[in-house]
Amino acid sequence: MVKSLTYGKPFKLLLAFMMPILIGNIFQQLYSMVDAIIVGRTLGELALGGVGATSPITFLIFGFAQGLTAGFAIITSQYFGAGDENGVRKSVAAALLLSVIATVVITLISAFCAMPLLRLMNTPESIIQDSYDYLIALFLGLGATVFYNILASILRAVGDSRTPLIFLIITSFLNIGLDFLFILAFNMGVGGAGWATVVSQLVSGAACLVYMLKKYPVLRIGLRDFRGTGRICGKELMVGLPMAFQFSITAIGVMAQQTALNGFGDVAVSACSAAFKVDNLANQALAALGTAAATFAGQNYGAGKLDRIKKGVNAGLVIGAVFSVLGLGIILLLNVPLLKLFIPSPTEEMIYYSRTYLIYQAACYFLLSTVFLYRNVLQGMGCSMLTVIAGVTEVAMRFIAVFLLVDLMGYTGLCLSNPVAWLGATAYLMVAYYIVIARRLKRTSLLPAAAAPSSLSGQTATMEETLKKPFKQSENEEVNPEKPFEQSENIETNPEKPFEQSDNAEANPEEPFEQSDEFQRLSSGR
């Protein structure tokens, strides 16, 4: 259901909103985990190493695409928080258009660069063909992943984190079945695991689309919604591109880490391939917290409720600390049993590589939780360039750790490269957040009461009142409570200004929620 995060207790809201995202993230991780488990148990340890060696490259490409789609949806969450139906529709239209263009460009580039990137990372010859087969399947099917991610992000932007979860769970089981079908029955090898993931993502995306069109009239767009979206496309790119580059910058550091790992040989690569999967699964609660924080910050920023953002951050720190301890406990207790899911009979050397890596990562999960929290809150407030700088800080620290600590400490130095990177990013993000929130609160307090941005859409009602009631175009309009966003048949609206709230409120269809020069200044951070 559509849900506002602009009222209610932030702790309960964040926790309730993140849980479906967490479960969804876990099942999304299961896509790659199942691929790795089935590959390792059916095709052998070298094939598992081939899949694992692709992790930095898939992080680079898919992280870029994920950053774009998440950034596009932040603009939607801001319009929704402002109660601007027209802005929601146009932002969705712009996001879909930009996603199609991005898919074509990224697919072409990634497919041609797959093998050169593998060789650049010194991928062992014994596994490089398996790595390429897996990568090329994922890259050619990139559109399926973007398709699901953009629709899931849009649904979350309007407060529905449950629906993407349900479809992801269903298609996770589909992925398992397709893995066995493509790998064993069709003898497609490692590439079959990649194609199983692509087909499953396509099905989950299609399910999200059908549900969205059926249940949420506010998200149903037509050709007219694509007109006049130039400025909104610009806004979405200003948020999405920095988020995408942030993922890519981080991925470059991970590629350097993988390059150093490849130097330890096939055994280390295979063991760490399993460890990476376990680590990603254990920290998904922290990633889910970040996603929830971005939506929370976006909606409340759109509603002009900066004090609630501060409360949300404080609540997020507590939630992050709790899940960090839980993640550490899981790693300490289950690191070897989880390794055996991928490698039935691991050697002592494999156990050493896997356990050492996992313990060092888990001991510093709280640092990772603060990175996710502050980065996503800043993104939700539209401060994307600050998060890019944080990404640069993170990758610089990771490079320093990889090239200095590995020489000094060997494999232990490699394991410390992530915590060092998280520490650098956390320090920067905390300072950036507190400076931004303090400045914007100060500027808001200096505004006259009539000019305060309590509502970006120019509504006179509070967000609580607005979102408890169906959207409507006039006081005299009767609305169907089952379809709160649909206009009644007997109301006539100006198609150029479909979300005017009163005779005195003039809405710009291209800039529907920028109400004043002062607010524009606040929004830009100047």
pLDDT of 249: 77
Q: Which residue stretches of the chain have pLDDT < 50?
A: 448-526
pLDDT of 485: 39
pLDDT of 467: 34
Q: For the CA atoms of 358, 364, 366, 367, what is the dihedral angle to 10 degrees?
A: -120
Residues 6+ positions from 114 with CB-CB distance below 8 Å: 57, 132, 135, 136, 139
pLDDT of 49: 79
pLDDT of 457: 37
Question: What value does the mean pLDDT of the chain take?
Answer: 80
pLDDT of 414: 92
pLDDT of 241: 87
| SS3 (DSSP) at 396 | helix
pLDDT of 266: 79
Residues 6+ positions from 96 with CB-CB distance below 8 Å: 150, 221
Distance CA 257, CA 280 (A): 16
pLDDT of 441: 79
Read off the pLDDT of residues 348-370 as tens digits, 9 standing for 90 and up.
999 999 999 999 999 999 999 99
Residues 6+ positions from 234 with CB-CB distance below 8 Å: none
